[in-house]
A and B are shown apart, each in its own frame.
Chain A
Amino acid sequence: MNLDSSKHSIIRLFNVTKRYGAKLALNDVSVDIQPGEFIFISGPSGAGKSTLLKVLYLAEKVSEGQILINGMNLARISAAKLPRLRRRFGMVFQDFKLIPGRTVYENVALVLEVAGEKPSYIRKKVMHVLRTTGMEKKANALPPTLSGGEQQRVAVARAVVGDPDIILADEPTGSLDQASAGLVLDFLMAYHQKGATILVASHNLHLMESMVRGRNIVLDQGQLVKTSTML
């Protein structure tokens, strides 16, 4: 690892290993990610792509190794400080993870509510983000009444509404058709242009290569097997 370049890293993984029983989901992975990078994590199913994202937002703890986010060691994060760390992330999931009983507006506003923002600011910001993602007219709709593409756009709106430094997207286009997937990636790219660091885990290498410029990290059986630049 180049120590000079890692000085200003936003995310650093040192020999990270994650075991589920006897199975190795991540095996000695070391990565250094600079602020503003677009990272594409690819590999076959079971390669460890989702696990890599999960250990970053502390949905899972690493078995060995260390992770630094902006110099902060995740192993030393207390339960009380975890929510504050997670507010720095925007997350997009393949299954959207939207609250079915809450409207589109409420789902997106939740991020700002948990951050303790004022209602007037929340209203303004949420409506702005919904406008950007083309979901303004569906603000009062419930997620189950939306199409998959629309739900993912809401999920993206929720991921960006808090202006996070880092966006983690786990198979964000996995259940979408080509057009919807392209739209979602467009939003992520647009947000990337504003300076955010984006990590996208996906097996859809072809779509990514055609749309995204960034770095491709290839995982296989939990090991980092290749790093390349996508132009």
Chain B
Amino acid sequence: MTRYIKKALADIRSNRFLNLITIVTISLSILVVSLFLLFFENASRVIESWNQGGRAMIYLESAFSPEMLPDLEARINSLGAVEDMRFIPKSQALEKLKNEMSSHTRFFDTLKHNPLPHALEIRMKTHGDFQEVAAFAKKIGALEMVESVEYGQGWLARFLKIFSLFRITGYAMCGLFLLIALFITANTVRLAFYSRRLEIEIMRLVGATEGFIKTPFYVEGLFQGFLGGLLGLLILLAAFFTVSSGISQNLSTYVYLDIRFLSVKAMGLIILASTFLGWFGCYLSLKQILK
């Protein structure tokens, strides 16, 4: 096997440009596929965490006073589906806002009274789907003294829509890019095979088996697939660290977002898949050439 690996590495070195093109193509395809996988993994986790207790803010009418709280809490609890509830007095809300907007202290000084309402932060029990949450929020909104309920319905609705759209196009795009990578790999092998036609003819004349002739091509395909997959994942990792913190900050106001990079298992599968892709491209090409 060492002999085949050495031979494959020597062939890669002698056809550097061609191999580089193939590795980059595979890496780009793997990048696109991994990007979708990353999105699906995180989106699934977000939905899962949201299903396991999405947060909602209940803004109360200006006529509400803290004495009415026990009664309101009892009415909300009677609706069920509430895991946890916390009262946020308007004075506390204003303090928090001042802290968060410390550069605008002059604006806060001009305020004659606190414009913020009292609020209740609730964490809901597991819900089956978005419609169920919306129905529950509507019920709370109908209660006396409740001004409005905010549970991130805007972005959640958009998110779910985008998510389902991405799921469909994601599969199609993954398939397309993998096919492109497969085609390029197969073509590289074909070119390498033709460029070594004389060598292969001589090998056959001196008694080389088909396995002896083909194995270095397969090893080359495996290398290309492995390196392409690794490169694709590294590019994705770099992009992930650049973008992920921004996304977390923007969306975590409403829902706790636990955006993570691909799991070790998923990365392993991607590398395995791209390595297989390299081998399979080689297999298809050799099968056709040697027919």
Q: A residues touching B (Cβ–Cβ < 8 Å)?
A: 57, 59, 79-80, 83-87, 89, 91, 97-102, 110-111, 113-115, 119, 158, 162
Contact B209 A99 (CB under 8 A): no
Minimum-distance CB pairs A-B, first 9: A87-B207, A86-B207, A114-B208, A83-B207, A83-B209, A99-B199, A111-B206, A114-B207, A97-B202
Q: At the interface, is chain B mostly helix, strand, loop or mixed?
A: helix
Contact of B205 with A by CB under 8 A: yes
Residues of chain A within 8 A (CB-CB) of B14 are 101
Interface residues of B in 194-215 (CB under 8 A from A): 198-199, 201-210, 212
A89–B207 Cα distance when bound, in Å, is 9
A86 contact from B198, B201, B206, B212, Cβ within 8 A:
B206
Residues of chain B within 8 A (CB-CB) of A91 are 205-206
Q: B residues touching A (Cβ–Cβ < 8 Å)?
A: 3, 14, 198-199, 201-210, 212
Which residue on chain A has the smallest CB distance to residue B200?
A99
Contact B202 A110 (CB under 8 A): yes
Residues of chain A within 8 A (CB-CB) of B208 are 83, 110, 114
Measured CB to CB, the closest approach of chain B to A80, in angstroms, equals 8
Contact B207 A84 (CB under 8 A): yes
Which residue on chain B has the smallest CB distance to residue A100?
B198
A59 contact from B199, B203, B205, B212, Cβ within 8 A:
B205
Residues of chain A within 8 A (CB-CB) of B201 are 97
A231–B199 Cα distance when bound, in Å, is 39
Contact B206 A158 (CB under 8 A): yes
A125–B3 Cα distance when bound, in Å, is 18
Residues of chain B within 8 A (CB-CB) of A87 are 206-207
Which residue on chain B has the smallest CB distance to residue A87?
B207
A59–B206 Cα distance when bound, in Å, is 12
Residues of chain A within 8 A (CB-CB) of B199 are 99, 101-102
Residues of chain B within 8 A (CB-CB) of A102 are 199
A-B contact pairs, 9 of them (CB 8 A): A80-B209, A83-B208, A84-B207, A91-B206, A97-B198, A102-B199, A114-B208, A119-B3, A162-B207
